[in-house]
Structure formats: structure tokens, C-alpha cells
Chain A
Amino acid sequence: MNLWRMVATRIALGIVTLLLVSAVIYLVVGVLPGDIAVEVLGRNSTAQARHLFDLRLHLNEPLWDRYAQWLGGFVRGHFGESITTGSPVRALVMPALGASARLSAYALVLYVPITLTMALIGAVWSGRGPDSVTSTLTLIGLSLPDFVIGTILIVMFAVVVHWFPAIAGTGAQGFWATLRAITLPAATLAAVMSAYSARMLRSSLIEVLQSQFIRTATLKGTSRWRVIFRHALPNAIVPTLNVTALNLTYLIGGVVVVEVVFSYPGLGQLLVNSIAIRDIPVVEAATLIASGIYIAANVFSDVVAVLVTPRLRYARPAR
């Protein structure tokens, strides 16, 4: 089975990639200039206190020894302890990952209908009024950086009309309260992601709509919308799926700016904070999770692409 072999190869390559990533991260964070003891104890701390701190956390040992120890623990399922707080890395990473996952899932829920609607409007009314409106909107979405979009949404929906809170990380309890709190950041992410994919889907839809088999289907008497949903969309969606996979990875790692604008405690902020204080085990865990999701998202999009386009099943797997 071509499909299964492709998946297996991808997973194996993914594991090798993760190992390489872990070594690179250790090395890079290890050689970063700066002193963990100063970061943690403060710039006025005494030399004696810093020395004791280094001894206690084995920071005086060679980097490779520390990496080997960390890796030994990691392959046995231990993420280790945070250097700076001494608490298990799991306790730091899991809430942040959960927060990012909630935000990302919500953004994806918004992303799919926005992309489809914009692309369909653009393709069906191509060159006419509605297309100009959606094209302008997607162009604005593409040109504005995410923090500007986020700020505009805050001004409109938190300051002018008080529909949603301006700060997402309020510790809101309950499903609906949480949903309301993260609506603005999720909408920001969805807007940023949709802009590119909607344009892409629109162009491929237009291309497919002009092909022979669509004309055949139309002449056969199939209704306009059935032609679009049953025949055109599945053929036009493949490139957009790859973009969506890339968008998924943007959601996991690249949402730092959005997290800052909305004061949202996700994985991105944890990563940035941990790098600032050289907390290698936390950086490792956060990076490996992000890399793992990146690899999984790519494999997933390839599999879906193969499933929706049967002809790919007999071709070489896409790289």
C-alpha cells in the first residue's frame, strides 16, 4: 500500500527530525550568551549565591553530559524539571499547550467557513461586485500584520461595543465564558489564515470551473451548486489543504504576537519566556511539541490530499 508506506516513512523521518531538533535546541540554548543564575537571582545577587545556584542545578557540568542526561529521561517519558522553578516541565507546558490548543481549535472552527465562503463568493461571482469585495477583504487580511488586525478587533468589539473582553487570559471559568474570552484572538488568527487560503482556493476554483468536465456536468443538467460542491471543490481544494497544514503550524508556534496583544498565556509565550531565562528543559518540551505537531500536520495534509484526489494514490508521494 503506497499510502501506508508513505505514512510510515514520514513518521520515521519525523522521529529523526525530532531528535535532531532536540540536540540543536540544547546546543543553541546552551551557547546563548548570558547567565541563568543572573536571570533567576537578579543582577544584584552575590557571586556566592550564583555559584551555589549553578551547583544545585548542575549548570557547571558540560553541556553534552546534561543533554545526554536529559535525553535519557526524555526517551523514557520524563520531560524533566524546569531549571528555574524546579517544578515538573509537564506542569508548565501542559496548561500552555491546552490554552494554545483551545485557541487554535476555535480559530480553525472559524477559519474553515470563512475561507470557503470568501473563496466561493470570489469564484462564483468572479470579476463582479461580490468578488471585488471579498478580494479587497482578503488583500487587507494579507497586508496587515496580525497584531494590527487584533488591535482593530479590540477597538471595535471591546472598546466601542463591549461584546468581548480585550484581554483573553482572564482565567475565565466555564465553556461559554472561555469561548467569549478567546473569540477576538481566535478571530484574528482566523482572519490572518483565511486571507491567503481563500485567495488560493478562489483561483483554483476558477481554474477548475473552466475545465471540460465541469462543462459536461453543467450541460448534463446538474444544478449549479451541486457542480460546485460535488465536482469543483474537491478538485480545487488540494493546494489549499497544504496551505492549511502550514497554517496549523503557524497556529502552534507563530501565534506569539497574537498572544502578546491579547495577554494570552499560550505555548508561544511560554517558549519566549523560557528562552529569555535559558530554561532548557521547558524550551525543549515546547519546541518538540511544536515540531511534532508540524510534522503531524504535514503528514495529515498529505494523507487527506491523497484521499480526496484518487490519482495521487498511484503517483509518487509528494515531498
Chain B
Amino acid sequence: MRHRRTLRGAVATLSVGLAASMSGFGIASTAASAPSARPSANANQCVTYAGVESSGSLNSLDPTIQGSSQISIEVDAAYNKLYYAEPPSWTPVAALATGATHNTSGTVWTVDLRHGVHFHDGHEMTSADVVYTFRHLLNPKYGSDEAGTLSMINPAKVVATGRYSVQFTLNQPVGDFPQYLADKDAFIIANNATEHQLKYEGDGTGPFVPVSFQPTAPTHKFVRFSGYWQRGLPKAPCLVLSVIQNPTTQAAAMESGQIDVLQAADYSIVRALKADPKLVLDASGPGTSRTLPMWVDTTPFNNNDVREALKLVIDRQQMVNTVLFGYGTVGDDNPVPPQSSSAWRHNVPAQNIPEAKRLLKQAGYGPSHPLTVTLYTADMLPGAVEIAELYKQMAAEAGIVVNLAVGPSATYWSNVWLKQPFEMSGWNLRPPALALAAAYTGSNSSSNESHWHNAAYDKLLAEAIATTSQSKATALFMKAEKMLSLDGGEITPVFTEQVAVMQKSCGGYTPNAVLADVNWTEISCS
């Protein structure tokens, strides 16, 4: 297995290295005569930006349904949220809001809105727009997948208490409500905006205005919103957004200068791009996780000795090095990366085959009667198949037989995920409160992929969400993380990092670990 990994990495490096060295040679020899291959869009110094997730005809500017990270980053350009929260601290920062106050129990929150914020169509943002936003977002008719996460908001009890103030009466006490107002779908839309308007017009308060948006057009152009509420921003006069998924095309587009910023380079081309003096590479912190959920209520996973053994067989650092080419960090079997200040421990136990064998023996498995499991996977997330293959090899060292069931990626989420007791999955990085609740608790989550129903855990979480003391909340979240790491059914071997690539002539861009979040205001190219 190690041989195959090495070989594969070597081939990728070799082929891209060849391209890079050829390019270096070519630049040296043709620098004087070669005309720039920049497309006409760059003549007026638009920032050309390539995302990595295609959504074809699903493309839309409607923040309610963000079917791909590409849709999300275009929504980021056109709209704003009341609050933004970014990793690693996840501290909510007020944007369209100026502040929020709550009653002592944390059940009634009043949000004050910023004055003088305008939509692209010219009207001023008021409480009417905000009330409409949350009623729209939580109306099941419009199908937002964040309805579950935001279930503490009662849409009927979101009311305007003034031109610039909105009151939320919640179904349960929440200590840090702005965190939920920073939710990935909670972009403020115009009062009475129709679905069609949201999809095609993108009339928000965001820094850029979409230009004749067409879902299937190869590029989507946005121009600077002159009435943007942050004075002097955005810096770029316009953006041209496209998607490049093929690694070779990504490398060619960056080395030929056709694209200014690539959101996340395929790991196989990172080394070659690093060698190009015209480019700057910037890796985000830990982002999307890769997980292997096991159903804790189903044999053999209902025995914690088995679960622990299945966790101990992994050499996590090797997984990061081989599958992610080093661009990742190890995980600790819970959704909070171990480097995070809110992680319950910062060192993940190393691979321990003897201990795994001991635990398996204790659970009644041995050489004559090996533990045999089927792991379902597909190429629905980068590395999902490779991680499963590597896992199979690592588990074999402890005598565990892992049968791989590799299926088509297109139907994985609808046909396999949540339907098999042991499978591959992955989650966008979220703040602890949302991550722990979204993925794992039985009561609120429709995506409880490890069948984790634990009353003590639910109680911890509810208490942590309700408390208004940040330090107390963190302590409670750590307890919950610990339960998952030691008892839970979720193996989280790695978190991936995004490696952004940009031309030296560009600045003001920081890659976000969350592929769906891009801050467009500071980016510019000369």
C-alpha cells in the first residue's frame, strides 16, 4: 500500500514537475516575445477568480439554497449577513447588525441594524428586510438545508420593533445567538423578494453587483457596488468568477496567468505551482473533515472496544502525508480540530496496533474469527476513496478485514449515506456549537450519521448552547467533544486545508478553511 501511495505521488509530481520545468524554460526563452494570454476581461483589471466546485444548471444567486461552494461564494459577493464568524476563533463579528441584546434567560434577542446600508436596487435596509429574510429562510417551501440548525428560531416570532431593530423570540434559550445569525444561509434579502429575483438578480447589500447573471454561463461577472456600506470598499472594480476542476487545467490557468486567484489547488499540483516564481501559495487552517461514521447501535459497532480499536489502527499523520500531500491536519474523532483553542485535548493518540489487537480480543475477535466490516465510499469528496483504501490497509495490520464498497459519487449522498452502518462522509468546518449539534445529536439532527443518541450528551449540548458565559460554554463543549472522541461512533482521521494560489500582482486575499466563505472586499490585482 505504501508503495502504491508513493508511486502515485511520484507520478503526479513527475508529470506536473515536467510541465513546470517546461514552463520555466519557456518563460526564460520567450519572455521578450510572448504576448500576454490574458483574456479581454482583464483589460479593466477585473479579478479573475476560479472556484473548484461546479454546479452547472443549479447555479443561482439565491442564498436559501447553496448547492455548491461556487454558489456560496457568488452569494458572498452579492449579499451580506448580520454577523460573520470565521475560523479559528468563530467569534461573531457584526456586519449588517451593530449589536444584539438579550433577556436574562437568552430566549428573547433584539438585534440592532446598521443605519444607511443600501441594497443594489437603492432601497435602504430596514427591519422589514430582516424579518422577511428569516421567514423566507425557515419556510420549508423554499427548502433551506439550514432549517434544522436554525430550528430555535420561530419564524412567526421574528418581528420588527423599530425601523432598525428586530426581535427574535426563540424556542429555547441560546447564549450566543449572533453565532446562528452568522449561519451559512442567513444572508439578508430584500423584503418580498421572489425566488426568481433571488436566483437571477442577486439584489443584496453585498460589495458586488451581478451583471446579467446566467446560470450556465462559463463565467459570472460582478461589478463593484458604488453604494456599498463599507466606505472605500470593495477594492476591485469587478470580479469574473469561473470554475476549474481539472488539476492540469488549474495549473495551466495559473501558470499562463489567465486566472488571478485559484480558490483551492488540487493537492497533486501544489508542488509544481510552488516552484513558479510568479505565484504565491497560501494554505488555510484545517477545514473540511473526512469522517468514517459507524452506527453505534448496530453490531459490531455497538461495542465500544470495537469502536476504539477501529480508531486506534489509523496512522493519521501518514494519511495526511499521503492522501492530502501534507495539506491537512489530524483529527480527534470529533468535529473540533485538535489545534483549536476549544479542543478538549491537543494531542491525538498515535496508531497503536497492539492495543487495538488487545481490545479486539477482549471483544471476542481474533485470528480465527477476525472482525470483518464493509466500508462504503465514493469519490464524492476529494480523498474519500483514497482514505478508505488506506484505512483498509492500516486496519489489516490489526487483523481487521475491511471490505470496500466503492460506488458512484453522483448518488452517494442520496443512496448510500445514512443508509449504511459504516461509510465515508465529511463536514464543513463549523463553530463547535453548530458542528457538535449539526452532525451528532439525535434529537435535532436529521443527519445523525453515527446514530449517536446519548441523553447525557444532549443535555451537555443544550446547557452549553443556553449559557451566556463563553468560558462555561467552552468547558461544556469540551466535555461533549471528549465523549465523542472516547465513546462516539465517528472516526475523524483528518481535516483538509485549502491551498489558494494567486498571482504575485494580487493582494488582499486570505483563503478561508471553509470553501463556501470568501471575503471579497479587500482583494485586488494590479
Contacts and interface: CB of A to CB of B under 8 A. Distances in A.
Contacts of A223: none
A282 B417 CA distance: 27
Contacts of A33: 411, 414-415
Interface residues of A, number: 65
A117 to B, nearest CB: 27
B98 interface: no
A142 interface: no
A125 interface: no
B86 to A, nearest CB: 21
- Bin chain B's interface residue count: 35 or more
Given A44-B446, A166-B253, A263-B244, A92 B41 contact: no
Contacts of A87: 215
A269 B56 contact: yes
Interface in A37-83: 37-50, 52-53, 56, 82
A167 interface: yes
Contacts of B145: 41-46, 49
Interface string B426-466: 00000000000010000000110000000000000000000
Given A46-B147, A173-B40, A273 B54 contact: yes
Contacts of A113: none
A31 interface: no
Nearest to A39: B414
B103 interface: no
A210 interface: no
A270 B413 contact: no
Given A32-B411, A165-B39, A170-B39, A265 B218 contact: yes
A96 interface: yes
A73 B248 CA distance: 43
Contact of B58 (A45, A167, A174, A277): A277
A34 interface: yes
A138 interface: no
Contacts of B143: 37, 40-41, 45, 49-50, 52-53
A246 B304 CA distance: 60
B99 interface: no
Contact of B258 (A56, A158, A160, A174): A158
A165 B219 CA distance: 15
Contacts of B30: 160-162
B471 to A, nearest CB: 30
Given A52-B141, A171-B217, A276-B410, A34 B252 contact: no
Contacts of B40: 172-174, 177
Contact of B67 (A40, A47, A154, A174): A40
Contacts of A166: 37, 249, 252-253, 256, 258
B24 to A, nearest CB: 9
A207 interface: no
A270 B214 CA distance: 14
A294 interface: no
A277 B411 CA distance: 9
Interface in A221-277: 260-265, 269-270, 273-277
A167 B57 contact: no
B57 A82 contact: yes
B514 to A, nearest CB: 15
B236 interface: no
Contact of B252 (A50, A154, A273): A154
Interface of B: 19, 22-23, 25-27, 30, 34-37, 39-41, 54-58, 60, 65-67, 140-149, 195, 199, 214-219, 221, 240, 242-246, 248-249, 251-253, 255-259, 410-411, 413-415, 417, 438, 446-447
24 contacts: A38-B414, A40-B67, A41-B65, A42-B66, A44-B148, A46-B145, A46-B446, A47-B446, A49-B143, A52-B140, A85-B215, A92-B57, A155-B19, A160-B23, A160-B27, A165-B39, A166-B249, A166-B258, A171-B217, A260-B245, A261-B249, A274-B57, A276-B56, A277-B57
